[in-house]
Structure 1
Amino acid sequence: MAFFRKWGNTWQFRISYVDPITNISKEKSKGGFKTKKEAQLAAHKREKELQNGFEQTGISLKTFLQEWLHEHKKDTIRRNTHDIHESNIRNHINPFFKNIALKDSTPLLYQRFLNSLHAAQYSKKTIEIVHGTMYNALNKAITLRKLKTNPC
């Protein structure tokens, strides 16, 4: 259920819900809307996302990639493939994206990453392999409902 209030010249909404995994009550709020109607629309959209199980967290891309590699890939791929993914993350992805949040990854930023690999004169095949690592990881983020779309 959403609650609305006027805060100065803008409107704010607050949503209360129970996290289905931890069974803990949580609240989400956002402000800065010019009208109450805008706040209501945004609250409705957010409630729908929460009902569908989608909740963006503040997890960093770096942390998510490590979790993806060790929790979702470790026993499902060959050792050599695991080593390639690990090397791509350590040598290419983490140095470029540093501590960016997973939810802040965008197609434009990802394209800049690919361009930086090209500018560093990596071969087309190497860039494709690094892209494969990133694409597969962020597809898993969609499956886990941490992202809506894959920026790759």
Structure 2
Amino acid sequence: MRQLFEKYEWRVETMVSYRKRGEVWQYEISYKDINGKYKKLRRSGFHLKSDAEMAASKVRTDFVDVRQYRNAELSLDDYFERWLKLYKQGSVSDITLNKYTNTLQHIKQIFGHIKLKDISRSVYQDRINFFAQTHAVRTVATFHKQIRAALLDALDDHVITSDPTRKIVITGRPVRAKRKALDYEDWQKLIHCLDPTNKLDLIIYIAAVTGMRYAEILGITPKDFDPISQSLRINKTWDYKYRTGFKKTKNQASIRTIRIDVRTIQLVKEHIETNNIGRSTPLFLTDGIAPVSAQINKVLTDKLNSINIPRITFHGLRHTHASVLLYQGVSVLSVSKRLGHSNISTTQSTYLHIIKELEAQDNDKIISILSTL
């Protein structure tokens, strides 16, 4: 059987050849991979030589480097995993990297092994819609954002020829509004039902009377308390997720000194003495390990259920503390500093509904004062 063999040079490192095998034509592209080793890319089944030439030419046109054509043969999950190691590993925090890793697991479940070159806008939208059936809009938006970042890099590298994520519609499962904070009476009920001799109850108590973040509470040591001035110095946090020890505060404004009441100081003092805690040792560790957030949230939920109060999250204690102070007439500026917000606008935007209510009350007071003139 006669075989026709012709070669054309595309570039120094790439050669294309055509062969006729029986009744069909095949093209073969020889190229060097990233390590300098020669590899071959073959496609056959073309009835005419011109069809094989057109197909090979399309590879050249669509993919500037044939090596990128090989990348387009990768499944989305394989490409995303490589992209993650190349661009994100070592350049983002462990928490952020964990979010990307979760996205990779979802990609494997939602997209399966669909190849990059086969992901059109309609395919991508269909998969996003499927994901949205069981996830909230915010979760879907984050999922899409992270995949899109990888695919835009693939587009820049000519691995794909168009952006399948363009003009994608984001939907999601409706989320029921959650109670963010306790009112003043429920706040008091919770505080009075806590047993401060119990470590986890004491953590909840401190959050309720200081508005501190969970990681900030876990970072407290005995030397941070000053009984004379009735103050607590907040200058570090504790990594309860990855157990790497002390960490910096969320931002510079989070480094602060707040006033605390005599009872809180006494309860902390008793906890320190009972557990023989060293001056530089975090108050709430057990064998060097801090309770995880899920554990403290469960304890809080059980406490609230026991006194028939609707559930809030542990972070909701921070919102509760701020809300109580604002309703009791403490200025927004003082609340902002106590919470460790980077600027007062953060406090104003977070508690805008409360500020508007207080403004209405103030307006009534103003009219009452003017009416006596």
Same fold (TM > 0.5): yes
Deviation string 1:66-114 (CA, Å, 9 cap, x unpaired) is 2222321123334443232222222x32211223333333322211111
Counterpart in 2 of 1:8? 22
Counterpart in 2 of 1:31? 44
Please tell me whether the aligned partners of residues 53 and 145 of structure 1 are also in contact (alpha carbons under 8 angstroms): no
State the 1:124 CA deviation: 1.9
Is the alpha carbon distance of 1:116 and 1:104 closer, same or farther for their aligned partners in structure 2, counting shifts above 3 Å?
same
Q: Which of 55, 76, 79 is matched with 1:64 structurally?
A: 79
Is the alpha carbon distance of 1:52 and 1:43 closer, same or farther for their aligned partners in structure 2, counting shifts above 3 Å?
closer
Is 1:43 aligned with 2:50? no
- Greater relative CO, 1 or 2 (CA 8 Å, sep 6+): 1
Give the structure-2-normalised TM-score. 0.36
Is 1:147 aligned with 2:160? yes
Q: Which of 64, 87, 110 is matched with 2:124 structurally?
A: 110
Partner amino acid, structure 2, of 1:59: L
Q: Which of 43, 65, 68 is matched with 1:54 structurally?
A: 68
Q: Which of 121, 126, 131 is matched with 2:144 structurally?
A: 131
Is the alpha carbon distance of 1:7 and 1:137 closer, same or farther for their aligned partners in structure 2, counting shifts above 3 Å?
same
Is the alpha carbon distance of 1:18 and 1:50 closer, same or farther for their aligned partners in structure 2, counting shifts above 3 Å?
farther
CA distance in 2, matches of 1:130, 1:4: 43
What SS is found at the alignment partner of 1:54?
helix
Please tell me whether the aligned partners of residues 110 and 131 of structure 2 are also in contact (alpha carbons under 8 angstroms): no
What SS is found at the alignment partner of 2:68?
coil
Q: Percent identity?
A: 27
Alignment RMSD, CA only?
2.5
Please tell me whether the aligned partners of residues 61 and 101 of structure 1 are also in contact (alpha carbons under 8 angstroms): yes
Q: Which has the larger radius of gyration?
A: 2
- Of stretches 80-89 and 42-51 in structure 1, the one that deviates more from structure 2 is 42-51
State the 1:134 CA deviation: 0.8
- Of stretches 141-150 and 45-54 in structure 1, the one that deviates more from structure 2 is 45-54
CA distance in 1, matches of 2:96, 2:110: 22
Partner amino acid, structure 2, of 1:125: R
State the 1:59 CA deviation: 3.0
Q: What is the number of residues matched between the two proteins?
A: 149
State the 1:37 CA deviation: 1.5
Counterpart in 1 of 2:90? 75
- Give the gaps of 5 or more residues in structure 2: 1-7, 9-15, 166-373
CA distance in 1, matches of 2:114, 2:58: 25
Counterpart in 2 of 1:101? 115
Counterpart in 1 of 2:103? 88
CA distance in 2, matches of 1:135, 1:115: 15
State the 1:128 CA deviation: 1.0
Is the alpha carbon distance of 1:25 and 1:97 closer, same or farther for their aligned partners in structure 2, counting shifts above 3 Å?
same
Give the structure-1-normalised TM-score. 0.78
